[in-house]
Copies of this chain bind each other. A is one copy, B any other.
Amino acid sequence: MVTIQDVAKAAGVSAMTVSHVINDHPHVKRETRERVLRAIADLDYRVNVAARNLRTGRTGTIGLAVAEIDRPYYGQLAAAIIAAAARHDLKVAIEQTGASREGELDALALSRNRLYDGLILSTVGLGPADTDLLKVDYPMVILGERIFDGPVDHVAMPNVEGARAATAHLIERGCRRIALVEGRLGDEVDVSSLRFDGYREALEEAGIPLDPRLLIHIEAFTMEEGAAAARRLSDSGAEVDGVFCVTDTVAIGVLRGFADRGVRVPQDVKVIGFDNIAEGAYTVPSLSSIDPDHSLMASTAVRFLVGRVAEKGKKRPVAREFISRFTVVARESTGG
């Protein structure tokens, strides 16, 4: 294995100078630099990242913990984060938490083990009760809800506002009997409960009473659960002319479930989701949604994290918070 010493010897300089050349330090005569570069090329020298990491205390890798990378929402988020991290010369290692509390705690532990310079954690299972666990001594950014008070940076979606806009959009299109497909796991504040709040507010504003029979509970935000929910809703005989789904993935399942029952979208029922995943533009009918600008969220999360990494060791200042903006994307599922 060719080391920096070998290069130094070949170039007739000290390892120090080689290091300067590698790290683009000034104060190296051009001639010397060129000689070193030639030696590097000749010997096919590569820096040993492990040694550099040990010395600098950085790994050049950040962790990204998401529920499951094979769900479109997380895949698209991960792609955006990887791209944003690359602009800071950072690599991204992906952890899958399986949407469980334990999985998220595992991810926290990994960074504590100094595998990563920092962690971007997409929370699903952790709730306000776990605030203490988030008081970690390494850079972290929570990608999710504004439900934590601790000194932790947040990048969140406009859940309440977006859900209100989605519901209002259905109302504008003439819906009056609007179901909500949601999945609150307990009494805690989570994505589902925040989006429920927006749904409730929009109904109130329009003077439409909230009918508990139109709240369809699902156990996971999957297409499968969405399809089952739509079938249940249809089979129940409940009058429904609109459905707001807690995520697009669920909405795609809902579209499928309605198709199974011969319910026409948007003629019989209008459907809207949340996230604006890429697939929504290609379903039949295409899916209306709320677009929370994932790439803005991703770049902000990375920016926050990079900032924390840079100021590592300093006293922890107040937590930063960023709520993304959103737009309503009207497609065929709500009448175009």
User: Which residues of A come within 8 Å of B, CB atoms?
Assistant: 46-51, 53-54, 57, 59-61, 68-72, 74-76, 78-79, 82-83, 91-96, 110, 112-115, 223, 227, 252-253, 255-256, 259, 278-279, 281-286
| A61–B93 CB distance below 8 A | yes
Residue A72 contacts which of B61, B75, B110 (CB distance < 8 angstroms)? B75
A242 to chain B, nearest CB (A): 19
Residue A79 contacts which of B49, B57, B61, B68 (CB distance < 8 angstroms)? B68
Residue A113 contacts which of B46, B69, B79 (CB distance < 8 angstroms)? B46
**Alpha-carbon separation in the docked complex, A259 to B278 (Å):** 17
Sample (6) of A-B pairs whose CB atoms are under 8 Å apart:
A50-B54, A79-B96, A94-B94, A223-B279, A256-B284, A283-B284
**Alpha-carbon separation in the docked complex, A229 to B75 (Å):** 25
Q: Which residues of B contact A95 (CB under 8 A)?
A: 91
**Alpha-carbon separation in the docked complex, A93 to B76 (Å):** 16
**Alpha-carbon separation in the docked complex, A72 to B41 (Å):** 39
A1 to chain B, nearest CB (A): 9
A85 to chain B, nearest CB (A): 11
Residue A282 contacts which of B75, B256, B281 (CB distance < 8 angstroms)? B256
A41 to chain B, nearest CB (A): 14
**Alpha-carbon separation in the docked complex, A67 to B311 (Å):** 34
> Which interface residue of A78, A92, A255, A284 has the most chain B CB atoms within 10 A?
A284
| Closest CB pairs A-B (n = 4) | A50-B53, A70-B79, A75-B75, A50-B54
**Alpha-carbon separation in the docked complex, A49 to B69 (Å):** 25
A218 to chain B, nearest CB (A): 14
Q: Which residues of B contact A71 (CB under 8 A)?
A: 75
Residue A69 contacts which of B82, B96, B114, B284 (CB distance < 8 angstroms)? B82
Q: Which residues of B contact A256 (CB under 8 A)?
A: 281-284, 286
| B70–A114 CB distance below 8 A | no
- Contact status of A115 and B284, CB under 8 A, knowing A70-B72, A82-B69: no
Other than the given A70-B78, A79-B96, 18 more pairs (CB < 8 A) read A46-B114, A49-B113, A49-B114, A49-B115, A50-B114, A61-B93, A70-B75, A72-B72, A72-B75, A75-B75, A82-B94, A82-B96, A91-B95, A223-B278, A223-B282, A252-B279, A255-B282, A256-B284
